[in-house]
Amino acid sequence: MAQITSVTSEALQATIRRLLPSQQGFGEDLQASNVIFPIIDLTPTAEGSVLGTNLQTAIAFGSITSINANSSTVTLANVGGFYRVFGNMSALTSSGTRATVDFDISDGASTKEIMSMDVTNTLSTANLISNNVDFVFFLNSGDSASVTATANAIFAGSVRQIADISGNLINPSGFTSE
């Protein structure tokens, strides 16, 4: 015989409100039953995306901004949200020369380094250093992110916004779920 009992857990109710925003004010206690029900997991759809995380952050032609910093500073993003940056930073130095690639976030008053490659060549021959880059960063409103490459260094890659400042996922350009 089926038994149904009320569950009064604020933690469970908070999770329901977070995962199912359309059900925030359902107004009744959760209930538990000793009957076995088949489960259909609608969590990704309820969270706003039918894609897994790795697919949601995919590179798409219409979603990326190409970046090429060579002896220059290039702004990666200046709108609040979550971003994925990917590409390659390289430096070609000869004896006694130095080359750097720096990724920074600024709030307008100060700047903090996210990642850096600093190459100083002490050899008598040319030296080529190359590193792949693939990371996610977050900007608050008013923040900006940039990449700076000095002489003899380059960053070539792309940046793509993957979620807005509120964490709402932004699917790759051209993707539509059925």
Kindly state whether residues 75 and 147 are assigned to the same domain: yes
Per-residue confidence (pLDDT) for residue 115, from 0 to 100: 92
Kindly state whether residues 92 and 138 are assigned to the same domain: yes
Kindly state whether residues 78 and 111 are assigned to the same domain: yes
Kindly state whether residues 156 and 91 are assigned to the same domain: yes
* Statement: residue 14 has pLDDT above 60: yes
pLDDT higher at 44 or 3: 3
Kindly state whether residues 151 and 93 are assigned to the same domain: yes
Q: How many Å separate Cα 1 from the centre of its chain? A: 49
- From residue 42, alpha-carbon distances to 11, 39, 96, 114, 146 in Å are 20, 9, 59, 36, 38
Kindly state whether residues 26 and 69 are assigned to the same domain: no
* Range scoring the smallest mean pLDDT among 30-44, 85-99, 130-144: 30-44
Per-residue confidence (pLDDT) for residue 18, from 0 to 100: 74
Residue numbers of the domain that contains 121: 54-164
Q: How many domains, the chain?
A: 2
Q: How many CB atoms within 10 Å of residue 15?
A: 12
Residue 55 token pair = 């697919």
Percent of the chain with pLDDT over 70: 88
For the residues of 77-100, what is the DSSP string, one character each? E-SSEEEEEEEEEEEEE-TT-EEE
Position 155: which residue type?
A: F
Kindly state whether residues 91 and 146 are assigned to the same domain: yes
In a domain, 70, yes or no: yes
Q: Are 139 and 75 in contact (CB under 8 A)?
A: no
Residue 85 token pair = 């940056």
SS3 127: strand
For the residues of 1-53, what is the DSSP string, one character each? ---EEEE--HHHHHHHHHH-GGGTT--S-EEEESS-------HHHHTT-SS-H
pLDDT tens readout for residues 18-71: 777 666 555 666 777 777 777 776 666 665 556 677 788 888 899 999 999 999
How many CA atoms, within 13 angstroms, populate the side-chain half-sphere of residue 136? 12
- Residues 42 and 47: their CA atoms lie apart, in Å, by 9
pLDDT bin (cut points 50, 70, 90) of residue 148 is very high
CATH number where 102 lies:
2.60.120.1010
- Residues 29 and 19: their CA atoms lie apart, in Å, by 16
